[in-house]
Amino acid sequence: MSIAPHSACAFSRCIRESKLVTRASPMTKPQPKPWIAQIHAYVPGKSKSASGQPLTKLSANENPLGSSPAALAALAGEHNPADYPDPDARALREKIAEVHGLDPDRIVCGTGSGELLHCAVQALAGPGDEVACSRYSFSLYPLLAHKVGATAVLAADADYAASVDNLLAAVTERTKVVLLDNPNNPVGTLLPPSEVARLHAGLPSDVLLVVDEAYGEYVDPALQQAAFALAAHHENVLVSRTFSKAYGLASERVGWVTGAPHLIDLVNRLRGAFNVSVSGQKAALAALSDQAFVAASRAHNAAERARFAAAIAALGNRGLSTSPSEANFLLVHFDGAVSAAQALEALSDAGYAVRHLPSQGLPNSLRITIGKSEDMARVIAALRTLCGEAA
Ligand SMILES: *Cc1c(COP(=O)(O)O)cnc(C)c1O
């Protein structure tokens, strides 16, 4: 909807003279909107055991290799904390554009990609509208819909992965946004470019498709450009990326989206004015120039993920299995005598926090981040012991 100039005026200002206002029903305290009253805060990954012992976190998909030395050097450099950051993150957008072959004017940076996903949903959906995503996808997605008063519609999965047919079948007259994390969290499955293109082709042109590539850098580089091309050529596609995962800068809170100019304009209107800190902009800029660190993170992840998957496969006779993952974690299923809850406890006793997601309908699974080699060896040993095998 475009706002006519005169109505824009009316809606932006209301000058009221002093007079007695009587209110219909006095409340004792400020009341939230009904849809806000129903939501709960985002639940992050744990880092402490039940007894309060600090645990090694394999619960939040952080980079076990830390951050690029170039980013650390940039963070150690001086800046004047009294100054606001560049509100448009121009240098950072230009570097992102250069690395990915994109147009810097079609990029917006945010306080993590989470801020930008929120802006996209907020711009397009409200009470009475629907936001669709796959049954097993980022736990933030339903929250984004609920925050704006929209309904989150979960499309049935296909063996835990997103199903294009089910997502398309979930679309109604009320659908405004489809959120697709690819690879997906908490499973790690990747829809190939042909399937993402089929999903896009099946959507009405006024439905926004957001392809959330938080784990994009872990994917085969040959497949990494496909969603960008979709966003470059269509009016209803946004692709998001983050510095929180493979770039190892989760604490700096930097993410970005790319898409058509009118979508970029909407996100720009809604994002925070100085939403990426000076240190975040500097660290992300430096991290982009160290692609060797990203490649090393991808290689470490691929090797350790394969080793972990093989170790779980070897416990197949005990009911353990994994879903295929292209991300920096594995979802391990426990369908035998050992339950996910028991494994959660055993891993906690061994010093590791992993993610149990019964609230997402996964009571028999644990999402385990691929950590350092020595930590993965200990996790494997703890699971083998729990299953009654020699560690
Ligand atoms: C981790 C993650 C993000 C990243 O969020 P930031 O706000 O950029 O830290 C986005 N989407 C998914 C699916 C994730 O798992």
Per-position pLDDT tens, the chain of length 391 = 444 445 455 567 778 887 777 777 767 898 999 889 888 887 776 777 777 889 999 999 999 999 999 999 999 998 999 999 999 999 999 999 999 999 999 999 999 999 999 999 999 999 999 999 999 999 999 999 999 999 999 999 999 999 999 999 999 999 999 999 999 999 999 999 999 999 999 999 999 999 999 999 999 999 999 999 999 999 999 999 999 999 999 999 999 999 999 999 999 999 999 999 999 999 999 999 999 999 999 999 999 999 999 999 999 999 999 999 999 999 999 999 999 999 999 999 999 999 999 999 999 999 999 999 999 999 999 999 999 987 7
- Could you tell me which residues come within 8 angstroms of residue 20 by beta carbon, excluding any fewer than 6 positions away? none
- Could you tell me which residues come within 8 angstroms of residue 182 by beta carbon, excluding any fewer than 6 positions away? 162, 190, 191, 196, 211, 212, 213, 216, 227
What is the position in ligand 1's atom list of the atom closest to the CA of 181? 13
Ligand 1: distance of its center to the CA of 252 in Å?
13
For ligand 1, atom 11, the nearest C-alpha belongs to 214
Distance CA 253, CA 227 (A): 23
Pick from 130, 229, 151, 182: nearest CA to 325: 182
Ligand 1: distance of its center to the CA of 30 in Å?
32
CATH number of 69-290: 3.40.640.10
What is the position in ligand 1's atom list of the atom closest to the CA of 254? 8
Q: What is the SS3 assignment for 256-312?
A: EEEECHHHHHHHHHHCCCCCCCHHHHHHHHHHHCCHHHHHHHHHHHHHHHHHHHHHH
Distance CA 90, CA 104 (A): 8
Ligand 1: distance of its center to the CA of 29 in Å?
35
Ligand 1: distance of its center to the CA of 365 in Å?
20
For ligand 1, atom 14, the nearest C-alpha belongs to 214
What is the position in ligand 1's atom list of the atom closest to the CA of 114? 7
CATH 3.40.640.10 domain range(s) in the chain: 69-290
For ligand 1, atom 2, the nearest C-alpha belongs to 214
Per the CB < 8 A criterion, the answer to whether 215 and 190 are in contact is no
Residue 325 to residues 24, 190, 229: CA-CA distances in angstroms? 56, 7, 23
Ligand 1: distance of its center to the CA of 61 in Å?
9
CATH 3.90.1150.10 domain range(s) in the chain: 56-63+292-386
What is the position in ligand 1's atom list of the atom closest to the CA of 255? 8
Distance CA 308, CA 315 (A): 11
pTM: 0.94
DSSP secondary structure letter of residue 253: -
What is the position in ligand 1's atom list of the atom closest to the CA of 327? 15
Residue 368 to residues 215, 299, 375: CA-CA distances in angstroms? 15, 18, 11
Distance CA 240, CA 229 (A): 13
For ligand 1, atom 10, the nearest C-alpha belongs to 214
- Residues flanking ligand 1, CB < 6 Å: 61, 112-114, 138, 181, 185, 212, 214, 242, 244-245, 250, 255
What is the position in ligand 1's atom list of the atom closest to the CA of 184? 13
Per the CB < 8 A criterion, the answer to whether 355 and 319 are in contact is no
CATH superfamily of 56-63+292-386: Aspartate Aminotransferase, domain 1 (3.90.1150.10)
Ligand 1: distance of its center to the CA of 327 in Å?
12
What confidence score (pLDDT) does residue 11 get?
66
DSSP secondary structure letter of residue 87: T
For ligand 1, atom 12, the nearest C-alpha belongs to 214
Ligand 1: distance of its center to the CA of 234 in Å?
24
Query: Phi/psi of residue 381, each to 5°?
Result: -60, -45
Distance CA 258, CA 264 (A): 7
Distance CA 223, CA 296 (A): 18
Number of neighbouring beta carbons within 10 Å of residue 149: 16
For ligand 1, atom 3, the nearest C-alpha belongs to 214
Distance CA 262, CA 236 (A): 9
For ligand 1, atom 1, the nearest C-alpha belongs to 214
What is the position in ligand 1's atom list of the atom closest to the CA of 212? 11
Per the CB < 8 A criterion, the answer to whether 115 and 314 are in contact is no
DSSP H/E element including 99:
helix 90-100
What confidence score (pLDDT) does residue 51 get?
79
| 151: β partners | 130
Mutate to test the pocket of ligand 1, among 212, 218, 253, 276 (most ligand atoms within 8 A of CB): 212
What confidence score (pLDDT) does residue 50 get?
75
Ligand 1: distance of its center to the CA of 113 in Å?
6
